[in-house]
Amino acid sequence: MTSLRVLAVASEIYPIVKTGGLADVVGALPTALRAYDIETRTLVPGYPDVIKALPEAEELLHAPHFFGGPVRLLGGSHGNLDLLVLDAPHLFARPGNPYVTPDGKDWPDSGVRFAALSRMAAEIGQGAIPSFVPDVVHAHDWQAGLAPAYLHYANRPRPATVMTVHNLAYQGQFPYEMLDAFGLPPESFAIHGVEYYGTISFLKAGLQFSDRITTVSPTYAREIQTDEGGMGLGGLLRERSQVLSGILNGIDISVWNPETDPDIAIRFSATELESRATNKLTLQHRLGLDPSPNALLLGVVSRLSWQKGLDILLENVPTILGEGMQLALLGSGDPDLQDRYQAAAKANAGRIAVVIGYDEALAHLIQAGADALVVPSRFEPCGLTQLCALRYGAIPIVSQVGGLADTVIDVKEADTAGGAATGFKFGPVTAEALADALHRANILWHDQQAWRRLQHNGMSTDVSWRNRASRYAALYRDVIAGRRKQ
């Protein structure tokens, strides 16, 4: 097997900058790919936290005028990650969330910021740093979407390109007037170019011009080809269905390992599930919940956005209380949902606990201490929290969409799905259907033997990157081979 070089391009990477699962994937996949002889370097923006994480970085390039200011390309490593960093103080030297201002608005120049990132990826793709000329440029989400377009319009020999959609809801649309500032040629503003309903769409550009398109689960790959799930891009995705595939995400099983996790009260394996009771009690104590071992404790770790369907869980507060369950929710996002959850917690102290914010350590404790993890998403490209739940013996209760449908086996479908039951699924995504799933879970909870079986099945499910990374490795080799034949 010859070794391959991949330039991954993304706007966030765990453990340095993370707002969601994209960072987890981009941070874990390179290490898993090494087993398949694939060397990945990841190009990320030089946010303050990135610059701080690479104190020994080496300057590989500099340009005095690049999208409005002087920039440098830095190279360095952080833990297992080999990074290339676009150090562009005028675009990225801003603390906090990478996408929004301190008062919560999108940065007005995000188009230019991520055009610059994509442009640098294209330059590297064309040999700008002779020590690393990639065979494949792998763009993640809209922020990297222009990279395949720049490579296309450069009209020079180029590496193969892969575009991965982590979430079709975020498309990166900017006014037509920005075409010149983005350095795109006039002819690119066309239906088979970057044009999208009169605007410039970064994600569309990536979908149009990449050699292969992937998304993060087989079911989501099908859903996005429909008018309903395609969010305006269904037609293009149908047109390109021959090059579109779904590859499930894994999780980093060294970060998510109940046997070694430093953030939980007591570590455990599948043969020591009684230890989970201590984690449950610690969680209850920490969040002010009644210390009752018998109440089914539901956990949620999530962004609070329309996608995640947490409004329908809120509608189920009467079910939760009526059936004697408890709820521990950690999340942040939509101010209205935050307020409504806080009000529910206030009105039901001891039964419902809500922590608004982002807290990795608490996320681990919830996975270790909650009995079940609820993910009622309206759509979910893959979802990672249900994978963490499987690994920690928390039973996932999920809606039957996207990657949730692909990674959880319902008690009812266990015989036909060719695997052992690991959780509960519901559909359609309504409060009533969720109520039914909660009710089914609560009945099983009171049959401790059956519950243990579900936990064991979940904990022996392979949620690691190992096999899933092999799919990316095969895809890279395949797309390169296909281009050689052309």
Catalog residues that contact ligand ADP under the rule CB under 6 A. Answer: 20-22, 24, 301-303, 330-332, 358-360, 363, 382-385
What minimum distance in Å lies between the beta carbon of 380 and ligand GLC?
A: 5
365, interface contact from ligand GLC, ligand ADP, none, CB < 5-8 Å by kind: none
What minimum distance in Å lies between the beta carbon of 31 and ligand GLC?
A: 16
What minimum distance in Å lies between the beta carbon of 398 and ligand GLC?
A: 11
Residue nearest to ligand ADP (CB): 21
| Residue ranges binding ligand GLC (CB under 6 A) | 20-22, 25, 166-167, 216, 249, 380-384, 403
363, interface contact from ligand GLC, ligand ADP, none, CB < 5-8 Å by kind: ligand ADP
Nearest residue to 424 (alpha-carbon basis) of 439, 416, 432? 439
Give the residue with the Cβ less far from ligand GLC, 135 or 380. Answer: 380
How far apart are alpha carbons 218 and 214 in whole angstroms?
9
What minimum distance in Å lies between the beta carbon of 248 and ligand GLC?
A: 9
Indicate the Cα dihedral angle 174, 180, 186, 190, nearest 10°: -10
Secondary structure of the chain as H, E, C letters: CCCEEEEEECCCECCCECCCHHHHHHHHHHHHHHCCCEEEEEEEECCHHHHHHCCCCEEEEEECCCCCCCEEEEEEEECCEEEEEEECHHHHCCCCCCCECCCCCECCCHHHHHHHHHHHHHHHHCCCCCCCCCCEEEEECHHHCHHHHHHHHHCCCCCEEEEEECCCCCCCEEEHHHCCCCCCCHHHCCCCCCEECCEEEHHHHHHHHCCEEEECCHHHHHHCCCCCCCCCCHHHHHHCHHHEEECCCCCCCCCCCCCCCCCCCCCCCCCCHHHHHHHHHHHHHHHCCCCCCCCCEEEEEEEECHHHCHHHHHCCHHHHHHCCCEEEEEEEECHHHHHHHHHHHHHCCCCEEEEECCCHHHHHHHHHHCCEEEECCCCCCCCCHHHHHHHHCCEEEEECCHHHHHHCCECCCCCCCCCCCCEEEECCCCHHHHHHHHHHHHHHHCCHHHHHHHHHHHHCCCCCCHHHHHHHHHHHHHHHHHHHHC
261, interface contact from ligand ADP, ligand GLC, none, CB < 5-8 Å by kind: none
Give the residue with the Cβ less far from ligand GLC, 296 or 313. Answer: 313
What minimum distance in Å lies between the beta carbon of 23 and ligand GLC?
A: 8
Give the residue with the Cβ less far from ligand ADP, 85 or 330. Answer: 330
How far apart are alpha carbons 137 and 476 in whole angstroms?
10
Give the residue with the Cβ less far from ligand ADP, 195 or 380. Answer: 380
Give the residue with the Cβ less far from ligand ADP, 233 or 251. Answer: 251
302, interface contact from ligand GLC, ligand ADP, none, CB < 5-8 Å by kind: ligand ADP
Strand order across the 71-78 sheet: 58-63, 71-78, 81-87, 38-45, 4-9, 136-140, 160-165, 212-215, 244-246
216, interface contact from ligand ADP, ligand GLC, none, CB < 5-8 Å by kind: ligand GLC
360, interface contact from ligand GLC, ligand ADP, none, CB < 5-8 Å by kind: ligand ADP
Residue nearest to ligand GLC (CB): 21
303, interface contact from ligand ADP, ligand GLC, none, CB < 5-8 Å by kind: ligand ADP
What minimum distance in Å lies between the beta carbon of 381 and ligand GLC?
A: 4
Give the residue with the Cβ less far from ligand ADP, 330 or 368. Answer: 330
Give the residue with the Cβ less far from ligand GLC, 21 or 30. Answer: 21
359, interface contact from ligand ADP, ligand GLC, none, CB < 5-8 Å by kind: ligand ADP
What minimum distance in Å lies between the beta carbon of 377 and ligand ADP?
A: 8
What minimum distance in Å lies between the beta carbon of 469 and ligand GLC?
A: 14
Give the residue with the Cβ less far from ligand ADP, 303 or 453. Answer: 303
Residue 456, number of CB atoms within 10 A of its CB: 16
301, interface contact from ligand GLC, ligand ADP, none, CB < 5-8 Å by kind: ligand ADP
What minimum distance in Å lies between the beta carbon of 402 and ligand ADP?
A: 10
What minimum distance in Å lies between the beta carbon of 252 and ligand ADP?
A: 9
Give the residue with the Cβ less far from ligand GLC, 21 or 458. Answer: 21
Contact by Cβ (8 Å): 144, 167? no
Give the residue with the Cβ less far from ligand ADP, 9 or 304. Answer: 304
Counting Cα atoms < 13 Å in the Cβ hemisphere of 201 gives 24
- The rounded radius of gyration (Å) of the Cα atoms in the chain is 23
111, interface contact from ligand GLC, ligand ADP, none, CB < 5-8 Å by kind: none
What minimum distance in Å lies between the beta carbon of 119 and ligand ADP?
A: 26
Give the residue with the Cβ less far from ligand ADP, 75 or 458. Answer: 458
